[in-house]
């Protein structure tokens, strides 16, 4: 009997023997030693200490200098966490002072033209699983916050014409554009910003929104496509 047939026979539980085998297997699968709280709490704390020490050592000695060697600027106070961002394609990267970048993020430069520029300001947060695809230029101003799973799509990677896509041709010039996030912008989790968009200073874009056109400064925007919900300046004045 093959392994797959044996597995199916055990799962079927159609005979006393298969039911016994199923019970034995599930019991073995969930076995664990009894919890001795003082001992295991100590071991847990030791595990965290060792894990953190290894991660910090890797950050200081490996990830940060390797990533910094890829930058055009010194990036003083740069903090990488959870590894090192993936960089794909030709891309010039500048990072200002005191920015924090998740290692579980991806920076992509469009091929086929002069190396595009990703310009990250001071005190910027780029959250985990965020992707920044630079067609020509993306500028992220000082104090900008990108939560997890944000997408800045300066180019789509594929043409609109289905025959061209099937042939593996690249996207066209009209699909590419700059993206500018002015200072103090906050993109909440899962926000997508398309090519050719400028978001004004201190504007907040709500979770899951897709920004297809420019947004003015100092507003809350939400939706697909994103639209202005209200002025944040008015709310601050009322408070």
Q: Indicate which residue of 158, 183, 198, 227 is catalytic.
A: 158
Which residue's structure tokens are 């019970």? Answer: 23
Question: Taking a C-beta distance cutoff of 8 angstroms, is the pair 232, 218 a contact?
Answer: yes
Q: Find out whether 170 and 159 touch, Cβ atoms under 8 Å.
A: yes
Alpha-carbon separation of residue 192 from 14, 102, 149, 159, 215 (angstroms): 52, 18, 9, 19, 13
Listed in sequence order, the DSSP H helices in the chain are 3-12, 16-29, 37-58, 64-68, 162-166, 232-238
Rounded Cα distance, 221 and 198, in Å:
13
Closest listed residue to residue 185, CA positions, set 224, 156, 214: 214
Query: In sequence order, what are the residues at sequence separation of 6 or more whose Cβ sits closer than 8 angstroms to the Cβ of residue 57?
Result: none
DSSP 60: I
Q: What is the rounded end-to-end Cα distance, in angstroms, of the chain?
A: 73
| Rounded-to-10 torsion of CA 94, 199, 208, 111 | -40
Active-site residue flag, 158: yes
DSSP, collapsed to helix, strand or coil, labels residue 115 as coil
Active-site positions? 158
């Amino acid at each position: 009997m093959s392994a797959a047939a044996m597995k199916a026979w055990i799962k079927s539980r159609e005979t006393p023997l298969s039911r016994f085998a199923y019970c034995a297997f599930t019991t073995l699968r969930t076995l664990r030693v009894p919890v001795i709280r003082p001992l295991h709490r100590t071991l847990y704390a030791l595990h965290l200490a060792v894990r953190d020490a290894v991660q910090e050592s890797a950050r200081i000695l490996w990830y940060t200098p390797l990533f910094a060697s890829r930058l055009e600027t010194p990036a003083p106070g740069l903090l990488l966490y959870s590894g090192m961002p993936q960089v794909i394609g030709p891309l010039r990267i500048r990072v200002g002072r005191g920015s924090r970048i998740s290692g579980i993020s991806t920076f992509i430069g469009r091929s086929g033209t002069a190396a595009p520029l990703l310009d990250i300001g001071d005190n910027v947060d780029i959250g985990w699983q965020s992707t920044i695809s630079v067609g020509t230029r993306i500028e992220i101003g000082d104090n900008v916050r990108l939560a997890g799973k944000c997408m800045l799509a300066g180019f789509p990677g594929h043409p609109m014409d289905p025959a061209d896509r099937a042939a593996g041709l690249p996207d066209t010039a009209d699909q590419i554009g700059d993206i500018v996030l002015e200072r103090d912008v906050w993109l909440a989790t899962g926000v997508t910003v398309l090519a050719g968009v400028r978001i004004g200073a201190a504007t907040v874009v709500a979770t899951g929104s897709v920004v297809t056109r420019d947004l003015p400064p100092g507003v809350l925007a939400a939706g697909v496509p994103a639209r202005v919900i209200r002025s944040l300046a008015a709310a601050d004045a009322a408070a």
